[in-house]
Amino acid sequence: MNTTTESLKQIVKEKYSEIADQSKTQNETSCCGAGCGCATIDEAIMAEDYTKLTGYVASADLGLGCGLPTEFAKIKEGDVVIDLGSGAGNDAFVARAVTGATGKVIGVDFTDKMIEKARANSEKLGFNNVEFRFGDIEKLPITANTADVVVSNCVMNLVPDKHKAFGETFRVLKPGGHFSISDIVLVGDLPDGLRKSAEMYAGCVSGAIQKQEYLNIIEEAGFENITIQKNKRINMPEEILKAYLNDEELKTAKSENFGIFSITVYAEKPGVASQSKQAAKEACCGPGSTCC
């Protein structure tokens, strides 16, 4: 692992260790929990309201998400669900309410304090089918072909190697399984100054990449039926935009072709029949061939 990747991971670990000790209110009114003193931040700009969802546990809600992936994840009773970057357990407990006692939920996080907090919450609730594992999304501590569904909420953008992260997501899903992931992406070429201000204003923007690049990585990992389930613009105050954009650029900034977006993406791992057909074709004619 290169030094830059390792240092980025260490920064995220330190930041989210601090967040684990803060209240939901503190996290919502700082830079995605960073505590960096963002006086202009709108506490409702990123986080979605979980309080009306079955299975909601207030002590597990740190106000860090940018979507409601469990709402779109098509989880069924008895499913095995993996939550990537599970934090204090918010999405895992909502998923458990759907899978029921016959299902299983595995949360993975690489911050010790988050794992401790999630396990304490699970212990209080008496859940014996919700498990939290310490691990890196780029190398998941989970056997291949385990999950029916994978969910994640505003975490993939923080992972340095997104190709590895989605490759691991593909590996741990069962053939025919699927994911629903909420994340932050960029559309259009944001000036560096505007991007830094966006991080200060909205939080969680760090590590975000272009939307099309994000979708390409998912496709390259082998997923199919890739669908945007929700697309929400993160609205920046005009005074911030004016500091970095001219009048013409300001007009573009108000279109759907520019800005910072919270998206929820759905994609499927091909089923056994589809994989067998592809393997046979490659054996006959080589990878990527269309001759068979």
Q: Give, in order, the Cα–Cα distances in Å from 246 to each of 186, 243, 250, 253.
A: 19, 8, 6, 10
Residues of the chain with pLDDT under 50: 23, 25-26, 28-44, 280, 283, 292
Please, are residues 208 and 182 in contact by the beta-carbon 8 Å criterion? no
Looking at residue 23, its amino acid is: S
Please, are residues 143 and 168 in contact by the beta-carbon 8 Å criterion? no
Domains observed in the chain: 3-183+209-233+262-269 (3.40.50.150)
Instruction: Supply the pLDDT for residue 15.
Output: 62
Number of helices followed by number of strands (H, E) in the chain: 11, 7
Tens of pLDDT along 256-266?
A: 788 889 999 99
Taking alpha carbons only, the member of 57, 87, 46, 55 closest to residue 73 is 55
Give the bridge partners for 186, in sequence order. 210, 260
Tens of pLDDT along 15-47?
A: 655 665 554 544 544 444 443 333 333 434 566
Q: Can you read off the two tokens belonging to residue 224? A: 């199919």
Stated pTM of the model: 0.82
Taking alpha carbons only, the member of 185, 205, 184, 183 closest to residue 196 is 205
Please, are residues 10 and 48 in contact by the beta-carbon 8 Å criterion? no
Cα Rg of the chain, angstroms: 19
Q: What angle do CA 233, 239, 241 make, to 5 degrees?
A: 50
